[in-house]
Structure 1
Amino acid sequence: MAKTDTSGGPLGGPAGWISVLIPLILFGWFAQHLPAVAAGEVLAWQWDWVPGLGVSIGILLDGLSLSFALLITGIGTAVTLYSTSYLGGSPHYTRFVCYLMAFMTGMLGLVLSDNLLTLFVFWEVTTISSYLLIGYNADEAKSRRNALQALLVTGTGGLAFLAGIILIGAAAGTFQISAIEATLADHPLYVPILILVLAGAFTKSAQVPFHFWLPNAMAAPTPVSAYLHSATMVKGGVYLLARMNPSLGGTDPWFWTLVSFGGVTAVFASILAIKQTDIKQVLAYTTLMALGTLVMFIGVGTPEAIKAAMTFLLVHSFYKAALFLMIGVVDHGTGTRDATVLRGLARAMPLTALVAALAALSMAGVPPLFGFIGKEFMYKAALEADPAMVWVVSCTFAASALMFAAAGIVAWRPFTGRLADTPVRAHEGTAPMLIGPLLLAALGLGLGLFPDYAEALVRPAAAAVAGTEVKVDLYLWGGVNTALILSLVTFAIGWVLYLIHGRLRGWLLTWKSRFDPGWDRLLGWVAAGARWQTEVIQTGQLRRYIFVTFATLAIVMAWTVWRAELTPSMTLGDDIRIKHWSVLLFITAGAALVAFTNSRMTAVASLGVVGVGVALVFIMFGAPDVAITQLLVEVLQVVLVAVAMLKLPHLNHEYVKTLRIWDLLLAVVIGGLTTFVLLTVMDTPFDLRLTEFFEENSVPVAYGRNIVNVILVDFRAMDTFGEIAVVVIAALGAFALLRGTKRGTQ
């Protein structure tokens, strides 16, 4: 049950006022650009963000982005006003407002971005904020589980989308959406780009087989459900497909993938909607139907199909937001959302019944509502959808008939007949809870009677999706034609389905969906795999960790050498003198002593010998400053490690004497490969570009004559800082380890 006590003050206190004013002001700002955009103008603003990577923050305001922006802010205003009463008395209301505002910001950024990289940033903002909103009731296990499910499914798709963005940048030479002018269909990367982009869009917009997370998102409070399902997150994938249609559309893979997945999702979800008894769940599945329909018609790609999709986008947003908010009023006013219990509410809740009637009639596609116009244009576009005309018409017809029945379940049955007993005595909702739904429902009626006003949004939106001008002439009555006949048959079949929906539900209940349980099994397998991997890899033996690390390095180096066909031509032994051999033997002796001693102190000292030998190499080859640094590090290391070794027991003598053949083999392989690679590098002509750059810029730019110091302190300042941070963290870890060991011995 919602918290409807407005003890926080009028409209939920300051948090409520702010949450309503922000989207309202934004709606006004976007609305003032409607005349210009309707006239065909495309408005753009751009600021550099990461100039070195060619990343900018750009705002693109055309018909498509403006339509979404107006829906996001307009419906956002209605939802936030509704929430002031629905959740205003909740102790977590302020937190809810923060989550909702973050979500609104993410959606606006997503639809307004003119750069794919910034679009992705806002894409993930919606993913994270929706996770927080779905899991708002964090004390309930169901909310936590469903929120995590939505996060993982959409987040995984988002990673695929990011990979697609990178490939698009490589193929198009830019990440700026408005600059990707030509289609990418002929590019060799087209297929992987298409797969990755569709993976992101299909998970976001819950296309089969990724559909299961969306109905589970109903664990969120009703205002969240209304917002997510009507105009925002779940349409993010639809927006992406629409935005990328000019560059990725028009190909057979695009056509058949979108038409197939969209059609299956529309029909499958409509069938599952009839199965539900919770009217909120009924609406959730009809949202899937709408998303599938939009994807299918974007895939068809003809001007008529794009026009139908953009019209239905508006239709669905208006009636779906109104119906979800209506359900919240019913839940608050009766204490239940069970369609088998609710009856006769029109007498106790007349305004809510009015909202339900208008919105449901639009959902069912009945004239003179705006939904009828949307359905007529969908049928008209479906009849021209070659070469998949039969499939598109069949899916549209089946989904529309089932949608008609679902509208009856949601808005006819609960409000007709004798008033039934409910957990709470049925009563009307408060004014803030009714204003938004009434306006949205009335808008569906007004645009149905005067569709010319909708053309101002549909025309520029269709042009943006099609990539060219699209003729848009919306009308309520187009005469007797095939589309009208299909609509009349839809009404008849839909009414029959409503009358027998009880028996259909009983039959459908015998069929158990495998998608949601399959998700739980998948997570179980992932957890089991993680446990097995941990048992195998995380043995607690440092020696094994080191062995695996160096074995992996050996495999990677060997593979690289083989693939690159490295063949160093320099002869080993050239220019090597007696002093060089002496230092080499000195280093070798130190390393051998480390391998065979059973004293940790001796091993540390022997490593110091190796370090001194390396310092001698630096001196012989003209790098005294590096040699001094090496000596200082070696001395410090020997002193510090020797102190630590005093706390540890001696090495096992027998273990040290045992010949560790695999360790010896790995050491020889690593040494040999490293030598081979170094010889190859030394045989390669030296690239002096960096050397010349530092020589030229050390004094005038960094005001230093010691080039090594300048590189470390100025040109690689962040790198040096990172190295220092690593050393400090390691020192803190060593200190904590030694301190813990000391305490443990007391």
Structure 2
Amino acid sequence: MADVTALTFLALCLPLAGALAAPLVIRILGANGAWLLAAAPLFAFLHFLRLLPQIARGQTITGGYAWVPSYNLSFSWFLDGLSLAFALLITGIGTLIVLYAGAYLRGHGDQGRFFSFIFLFMGAMLGIVVSDSFLMFFIFWELTSITSFLLIGFDHEREAARRAALQALVVTGGGGLCLLAGLLVLWNMSGVTQMSQLIGAGDLLRESPLYLAALILVLGGAFTKSAQFPFHFWLPNAMEAPTPVSAYLHSATMVKAGVYLLMRLNPVMGETPAWEILLPFFGGLTLVVGTALAIRQTDLKLKLAYTTVSSLGLLVMLIGFGSDHAVEAAALYLVAHSLFKGALFMVAGIIDHETGTRDITRLGGLGRAMPLTWLIALAAAFSMAGLPPFFGFLAKEEIYAALAGGDIRAITFTAITVFGNALMFAVAFAVALKPFHGRPAQTPKIAHEAPILLWLGPAVLAVLGLLSAVFATFTHAALSSPIAAAIRGDPVEIAISLAPHLGLPLALSLLTALLGIGVYWQLDRARFWMAVFLRAAGRGPDHGFDLAMSGLVRFAGRLIRFVQPGRLEIYVACTFLCLAAILIIPPILYGELPHLPAWPADVRLHEWAVFLIAAFGLAAVLVAHDRLTAIVSLGIQGFAVAVIFLLFGAPDLSFTQFMVETLSVVILALVMTRLRLSPDDRRPPGRRLFHGALALVCGLGFSLLLLRATQAPFNDALTAFFNAYSKTIAHGANVVNVIIVDFRGTDTLGEIAVVAVTGLAILALIRIRAGSERKLAANDPDAVGAGE
């Protein structure tokens, strides 16, 4: 067990190590460094593959390290059929993507930076699917948003890439905040902070009055990450990223993070009316919208991106449908989609890399020049279309078995699924056939077969799509059934295979194929009518996002101009206004006003003299006609307070007060004499009245606070502590000095830093003044004297 824990920890850290090593490896080995870098995810893949038999027997693996035990926070992981399947997809496809990117970006000046980003993303996504701790899960969730922002905006010199990256970050980051709130609510409802413990709290969550709030918040995070309508628009725009990013983040891994979250929470939040209404509704709507928009596109990557949106909608719909067969279908389609969509994205990248274009209307006849790529594309398209003998066929059959029924709900969602799958059928063969058959087209580059690193990845995924269906019994026992068991929360045994099985699901598959062939046959006409419909429907959520961001920028600008008008007087007034509210309002609300103290009867003459001097200084400040007089008069207050400290037996404090007041008066006088300021106060009477009232309220607030503090029972615990330990620990007889220098050393250092910064600011003001005078004197020698 200790060996598994150590190796799992190493597997989680390897992608992060790869991110650190990638720039150096690429600098030394160039594009060939991809072979070495691929060893990191390959090791992690082999480690997780080694755990497959144990997980297939129904066991789970937990481990980790305590982080903050007092708050039950830990760096912990939880592996069952679902998390292990995702870990295998992330590391396995990640290995192929690293090799693919080595060839695709050969010669690119920022290849090292790209590999760092892709490894960071790989580590973040791996962290999501194996996390047991809520905190660890959320940290990795947000890290995927940040790393995808970096990858989508990799070609940052293009405005479209920058916009797409920002859009993805805003949408998924906003959803991440919803998820954080949802996790906190789940914590409050269940009292646990571990996924493995949450799975057993299903009835507790479903019966809680906070269930609906938690569900909506969780769906906000899942729907934004997995591009569900109306948040679907960010994923197609993310195709501005290099093709290896599209093949990895936006087909096989990141966009399935939301699906993973819903699958993980199905045992504890599923089987409720809200779950079984919201998920199928938004999933079905996303399925239809995604496939319809895919038909309209002519860019290969955009066509695949919109079908990814529709496939995610199909998965969400199945998770929420509520039947056992739907869970099994979701498990099968999860694996099938990762294999065929990753392969097709890489095929689209090969076509773009070797011909210089992805526009399907400018491609044709590539089958003669690129036969191997065509064969790979056909194999992946067969699986995407749901045709035997590929794993996609088994998934589609199970989908129809799950949805088919006699009630209106089943009929509605079956019709939606047939329509969506038919359009996906047409898109699959539009990608796999249109560019390769017919007469050769004139392309920007002369087409030829891709190098091995480009076709190796899609070939492996296409072959796996075939072998997993041919050896379906082994696939189900090792992978599909454990996934479905984790989603349901109970043991599951999937038995579907390529063996002939007549019935309604097969009939629906045949209907899907016939409709798909019809749409493919009339693809140009379908594209035209879809464009007409979209123009009539008006601008969609993508334009709405631009309007929202533009409105946010305008609102922020107006808000900044309101709260930051550039006048120091307003800033100071607002600061003191807030200070007055903090000092006055809470004591009144909570009944903490002090009692009015009794006037002492034994005040001596010299003490009265000190108070009279302070009052004289206050009057002098109020009647002063220029700033310099006011500053000097203000010093009288400080000296009077210092004398009071001295009279009441605090010579150290009195000396400090004398020094502070002297330095303050000298510095303020120095600054005021060096700056070009009006000699007197020119504020209008109304503003002077407001500022005076504000000063009185702040002074009253501090007086009330000090009175309330002195009337509270004295606690001498700190006094006893400092008296006991000043000599033994700090070796100082002067307790005040020891407190300032030793016990509060960091605080004192901060105060010194503040004084130093203030001194620098004063020096800057004086130099600005001196510099402006020199410049003015150089231009007009008489101007300086005139301005004084």
Quick check: TM above 0.5?
yes
Q: Structure 2 vs 1, CA of residues 612 and 30 (structure 1 numbering), >3 Å: closer, same or farther?
A: farther
What is the CA deviation profile of residues 81-118 of structure 1, one whole-angstrom value per residue up to 9, with x for unaligned ones?
11111112111111111111111111112222221212
Q: Higher mean Cα deviation, 298-307 or 335-344?
A: 298-307
Q: Are positions 1:265 and 2:286 aligned together?
A: yes
Match of 1:216 in 2: 237
Structure 1 counterpart of 2:629, one-letter code: T
Q: Structure 2 vs 1, CA of residues 141 and 569 (structure 1 numbering), >3 Å: closer, same or farther?
A: closer
Match of 1:539 in 2: 565
Match of 1:487 in 2: 509
Q: Higher mean Cα deviation, 416-425 or 724-733?
A: 724-733
Deviation at 1:394, TM superposition (A): 3.4
Equivalent pairs, count: 739
Instruction: Report matched runs for 1:82-161 at 5 Å.
Output: 82-161=100-179
Deviation at 1:621, TM superposition (A): 7.9
Q: Structure 2 vs 1, CA of residues 599 and 218 (structure 1 numbering), >3 Å: closer, same or farther?
A: same
**Any conservation in 2 of the 1:383–1:389 contact (CA below 8 Å)?**
yes
Match of 1:663 in 2: 691
Q: Structure 2 vs 1, CA of residues 607 and 91 (structure 1 numbering), >3 Å: closer, same or farther?
A: same
Match of 2:770 in 1: 742
- Distance, in Å, in 2 between the alignment partners of 1:410 and 1:488 is 21
Deviation at 1:305, TM superposition (A): 2.5
Match of 1:398 in 2: 419
SS at match of 2:78: strand
Match of 1:462 in 2: 484
Q: Residue 638 of structure 1 is aligned with which of 665, 668, 673? A: 665
Match of 1:70 in 2: 88
What is the CA deviation profile of residues 699-734 of structure 1, one whole-angstrom value per residue up to 9, with x for unaligned ones?
888888877777766776665555554444444344
- Distance, in Å, in 2 between the alignment partners of 1:9 and 1:668 is 67
Q: Are positions 1:435 and 2:461 aligned together?
A: no
- Distance, in Å, in 2 between the alignment partners of 1:585 and 1:235 is 77
Match of 2:576 in 1: 550
Match of 1:35 in 2: 53
Match of 1:4 in 2: none
What is the CA deviation profile of residues 418-445 of structure 1, one whole-angstrom value per residue up to 9, with x for unaligned ones?
3233222221111111111111001111
- Distance, in Å, in 2 between the alignment partners of 1:169 and 1:661 is 52
**Any conservation in 2 of the 1:16–1:88 contact (CA below 8 Å)?**
no
Match of 1:600 in 2: 627
Q: Higher mean Cα deviation, 281-290 or 461-470?
A: 461-470
Instruction: Report matched runs for 1:602-621 at 5 Å.
Output: 602-612=629-639
What is the CA deviation profile of residues 23-68 of structure 1, one whole-angstrom value per residue up to 9, with x for unaligned ones?
1111111111111111122112221334454322112222222111
SS at match of 1:653: coil
Instruction: Report matched runs for 1:184-333 at 5 Å.
Output: 184-333=205-354
- Distance, in Å, in 2 between the alignment partners of 1:623 and 1:384 is 90
- Distance, in Å, in 1 between the alignment partners of 2:644 and 2:495 is 83
- Distance, in Å, in 1 between the alignment partners of 2:754 and 2:261 is 41
- Distance, in Å, in 2 between the alignment partners of 1:609 and 1:188 is 64
Deviation at 1:604, TM superposition (A): 3.3
Structure 2 counterpart of 1:182, one-letter code: A
Match of 2:781 in 1: none
Deviation at 1:299, TM superposition (A): 2.5
Deviation at 1:585, TM superposition (A): 6.7
- Between the two proteins, what is the percent identity of the paired residues? 45
Structure 1 counterpart of 2:333, one-letter code: F
- Distance, in Å, in 2 between the alignment partners of 1:182 and 1:702 is 53
Match of 2:541 in 1: 515
Q: Higher mean Cα deviation, 14-23 or 680-689?
A: 680-689
- Distance, in Å, in 2 between the alignment partners of 1:393 and 1:692 is 78
Q: Higher mean Cα deviation, 431-440 or 38-47?
A: 38-47
Q: Higher mean Cα deviation, 280-289 or 342-351?
A: 342-351
Q: Are positions 1:162 and 2:180 aligned together?
A: yes
Greater CA radius of gyration, 1 or 2? 2
What is the CA deviation profile of residues 466-485 of structure 1, one whole-angstrom value per residue up to 9, with x for unaligned ones?
33333333423472222222
Structure 2 counterpart of 1:230, one-letter code: S
What is the CA deviation profile of residues 323-378 of structure 1, one whole-angstrom value per residue up to 9, with x for unaligned ones?
00001111122221111222222222111111111111111111221011111222
Q: Structure 2 vs 1, CA of residues 639 and 333 (structure 1 numbering), >3 Å: closer, same or farther?
A: same
Q: Structure 2 vs 1, CA of residues 86 and 679 (structure 1 numbering), >3 Å: closer, same or farther?
A: same
Match of 1:450 in 2: 471
- Distance, in Å, in 1 between the alignment partners of 2:498 and 2:616 is 94
**Any conservation in 1 of the 2:371–2:449 contact (CA below 8 Å)?**
yes
**Any conservation in 2 of the 1:344–1:416 contact (CA below 8 Å)?**
yes
Q: Structure 2 vs 1, CA of residues 269 and 676 (structure 1 numbering), >3 Å: closer, same or farther?
A: farther
> Structure 2 stretches of 5 or more lacking a match?
1-24, 775-788
Match of 1:566 in 2: 591
Structure 1 counterpart of 2:577, one-letter code: A
What is the CA deviation profile of residues 556-600 of structure 1, one whole-angstrom value per residue up to 9, with x for unaligned ones?
6666567x4435373444779747988777666655654553433
**Any conservation in 1 of the 2:189–2:210 contact (CA below 8 Å)?**
yes
- Distance, in Å, in 1 between the alignment partners of 2:597 and 2:91 is 73
Deviation at 1:176, TM superposition (A): 2.5
- Distance, in Å, in 2 between the alignment partners of 1:533 and 1:330 is 49
**Any conservation in 2 of the 1:315–1:444 contact (CA below 8 Å)?**
yes
Q: Structure 2 vs 1, CA of residues 734 and 423 (structure 1 numbering), >3 Å: closer, same or farther?
A: same
- State the Cα RMSD in Å: 3.4
**Any conservation in 2 of the 1:306–1:465 contact (CA below 8 Å)?**
yes
What is the CA deviation profile of residues 652-672 of structure 1, one whole-angstrom value per residue up to 9, with x for unaligned ones?
535168452222333344444
What is the CA deviation profile of residues 208-247 of structure 1, one whole-angstrom value per residue up to 9, with x for unaligned ones?
2221111111111111110112222211222222223334
Match of 1:3 in 2: none
- Distance, in Å, in 1 between the alignment partners of 2:56 and 2:308 is 28
Structure 2 counterpart of 1:462, one-letter code: A
**Any conservation in 2 of the 1:68–1:231 contact (CA below 8 Å)?**
no
**Structure 1 length-normalised TM:** 0.89
Structure 1 counterpart of 2:553, one-letter code: A
- Distance, in Å, in 2 between the alignment partners of 1:704 and 1:296 is 73
> Structure 1 stretches of 5 or more lacking a match?
1-6
**Any conservation in 2 of the 1:566–1:680 contact (CA below 8 Å)?**
no
- Distance, in Å, in 1 between the alignment partners of 2:482 and 2:174 is 33
Deviation at 1:282, TM superposition (A): 0.3
Q: Residue 520 of structure 2 is aligned with which of 475, 495, 498? A: 498
**Structure 2 length-normalised TM:** 0.85
- Distance, in Å, in 1 between the alignment partners of 2:357 and 2:269 is 46
Q: Structure 2 vs 1, CA of residues 418 and 592 (structure 1 numbering), >3 Å: closer, same or farther?
A: farther
Q: Higher mean Cα deviation, 385-394 or 363-372?
A: 385-394
- Distance, in Å, in 2 between the alignment partners of 1:27 and 1:329 is 25
Q: Structure 2 vs 1, CA of residues 11 and 623 (structure 1 numbering), >3 Å: closer, same or farther?
A: same
- Distance, in Å, in 2 between the alignment partners of 1:336 and 1:98 is 27
Deviation at 1:141, TM superposition (A): 1.5
What is the CA deviation profile of residues 172-199 of structure 1, one whole-angstrom value per residue up to 9, with x for unaligned ones?
3343322334143344544443333322
- Distance, in Å, in 1 between the alignment partners of 2:266 and 2:730 is 49
**Any conservation in 2 of the 1:343–1:414 contact (CA below 8 Å)?**
yes
